[in-house]
Structure 1
Amino acid sequence: MRIVIFGANGPTGRLLTTQALEAGHDIVAFTRRPDEFPMAHDRLTTVGGDVYDPAAVEQVVAGADTILSALGVPFSRKPITTYSAGIGNIVAAMHRHAVRRIAVVSSSAVDPHPYPDAGFVFNRMLQPFITGILGKTLYGDMRAMEALLTASDLDWTIVRPSGLFDLPHITDYTVATQRADGRFTSRADLAACLLRLAESDRYVRTVIGIVTTTDNPGMLDLIRAEAFGKS
């Protein structure tokens, strides 16, 4: 299978590329910084380009069997359009080249909800601050991306992970339609889920949640790493 991965040079994209190559697929890794992409393989083609460039997007979509998007940008108070504009260009190219299957990474934070085990501080203070202030423009653009996909006739799947963290291995993660109960998702599990979607027609035209249920980090560690860029 020929899989095009957008956002291939990000933390999840690199894991996804590795897992897809190990599974025997032909991979096109699309990244704005191809010189920084650390992989080489006889079934890997690395393409430099920007999702804002329709011609660059169309070049890699042509001939693809499946599109996977692991696009990601940092929080910003300024308007963010990477998700909606990028997926808009991808969807347009897919229609022109009769490519049907796409799975994209969104976030559980586009539809925030309280967690029974999280306590008052997380549910009433931290989550509203992250989703409504710190990540307001990012999650707003993710919602626009989701609306664009759900309005299309493509075989789309929207994947909503919870707080992302790193593990060295894939776990027995949990997937549920719309929302999975849990506050954490490892990037290895997210990549594995995306690859499974590429290999099947399960969850077509469905929003799914994915959570990791073992080896979860502490909440303060996650906030430091993800929201404030500290290790």
Structure 2
Amino acid sequence: MRIVVFGAGGPTGHQLVAQALAAGHRVTAVTRRPHPMAGREGLTLADADATDANAVDEVVADSDAVLSALGVRPGRAPVTLYSTAARNIADAMARHDVKRLIAVSSSVLDPAWRPSGALFFNHVLDPYVNRVIARTAHEDMRRMEAVLRQSPLEWTVVRPSGLFDHPEPTRYLTAEGSADGVFTARADLAAAMLRELVEERHVRRAMGVVTKDVKPSIPRLIWREAVRAR
């Protein structure tokens, strides 16, 4: 399958590109940074801005599916990347008759999401980190989801919990809407997206993803996520 990956320069994007190539897909990695997998067989690098409609149109042409792992650094400044990119990608896909889109969002967008047994997270971390520091990003994710719901695409919104790095996929859980858990390894997020690409269990729906067997160091997680994009 010919896959376009937006946000391929970020940590989730790296996992998507590596796992997609390993599965035999041909990948166009959209990134404005040098990419560690440059030169790999089956990989094409595209320097394109997801907020530039013409640039998006060029990279989407001749693809079979689009995966978006776009992200921004946490902060209180207004965010428009998610919704602007979604409109550009959806419009380009419609023009080129590309149907399948899978985009990363967040479990925070499910108002019923409260991980079981996670008192410190639910009452301290979530209200501060997700509802204050990252509030503007989540507001734009809501706008992104609304853009996709109004489109004719065969979209899936993937909602991870707190993201952290792990070198390879582990045992993870998926569920409609959001999944019951505090953390999601980026390797598991990428694996779930690629599995959904094939199995199509959540077309025109949201899918939660959480990691079951490994957990990050919370202080290290907070520090690392505060200084880099998804």
Fold shared by both chains (TM-score > 0.5): yes
Partner of 1:185: 184
Distance 2:140 2:178 in 1: 19
8 Å Cα contact 2:8/2:30 also seen in 1: yes
Partner of 2:88: 89
Offset from partner CA, 1:81-128 (integer Å, 9 cap, x none): 110001110000011111000000001122353333112x43223211
Please tell me whether residue 66 in structure 1 is matched to residue 78 in structure 2.
Answer: no
Partner of 1:161: 160
Offset from partner CA, 1:54-102 (integer Å, 9 cap, x none): 1110001111100000101101211111100011100000111110000
Distance 1:227 1:170 in 2: 24
Partner of 1:134: 133
**Deviates further, 212-221 or 94-103:** 212-221
8 Å Cα contact 2:4/2:67 also seen in 1: yes
Identity %: 50
Distance 1:117 1:220 in 2: 19
Distance 2:189 2:28 in 1: 19
Distance 1:151 1:87 in 2: 11
Distance 1:204 1:15 in 2: 22
Partner of 1:11: 11
Q: How many residues end up aligned between the 2 structures? A: 226
Distance 1:190 1:122 in 2: 20
**Deviates further, 193-202 or 204-213:** 193-202
- In the alignment, structure 1 segments of 5+ residues that lack a partner are none
Query: Post-superposition, which runs of at least 4 consecutive aligned residues in structure 1 deviate over 4 A?
Result: none
Offset from partner CA, 1:146-198 (integer Å, 9 cap, x none): 11111111100000000011112211210000111000000000111111122
Counting only pairs closer than 5 Å after superposition, residues 98-177 of structure 1 correspond to structure 2 as 98-111=97-110, 113-119=113-119, 121-177=120-176
Q: Give, in angstroms, the shift of residue 228 of structure 1.
A: 5.2
SS in 2 for 1:159: strand
TM-score by length of 1: 0.93
Offset from partner CA, 1:12-35 (integer Å, 9 cap, x none): 1011101111111111011122xx
SS in 2 for 1:115: coil
8 Å Cα contact 2:73/2:227 also seen in 1: no
Distance 1:51 1:147 in 2: 18
Distance 2:222 2:42 in 1: 37
**Deviates further, 85-94 or 201-210:** 201-210
Pairwise CA RMSD of aligned residues? 1.4
- In the alignment, structure 2 segments of 5+ residues that lack a partner are none
Distance 1:199 1:114 in 2: 29
- Aligned CA distance change for structure 1 residues 196 and 114 (closer, same or farther; 3 Å): closer
Query: 1:128 corresponds to which letter in structure 2?
Result: P
Q: Give, in angstroms, the shift of residue 225 of structure 1.
A: 2.5
8 Å Cα contact 2:114/2:180 also seen in 1: no
Distance 1:164 1:228 in 2: 13
Query: 1:38 corresponds to which letter in structure 2?
Result: P
Q: Give, in angstroms, the shift of residue 140 of structure 1.
A: 0.4
Query: 1:20 corresponds to which letter in structure 2?
Result: A
TM-score by length of 2: 0.94
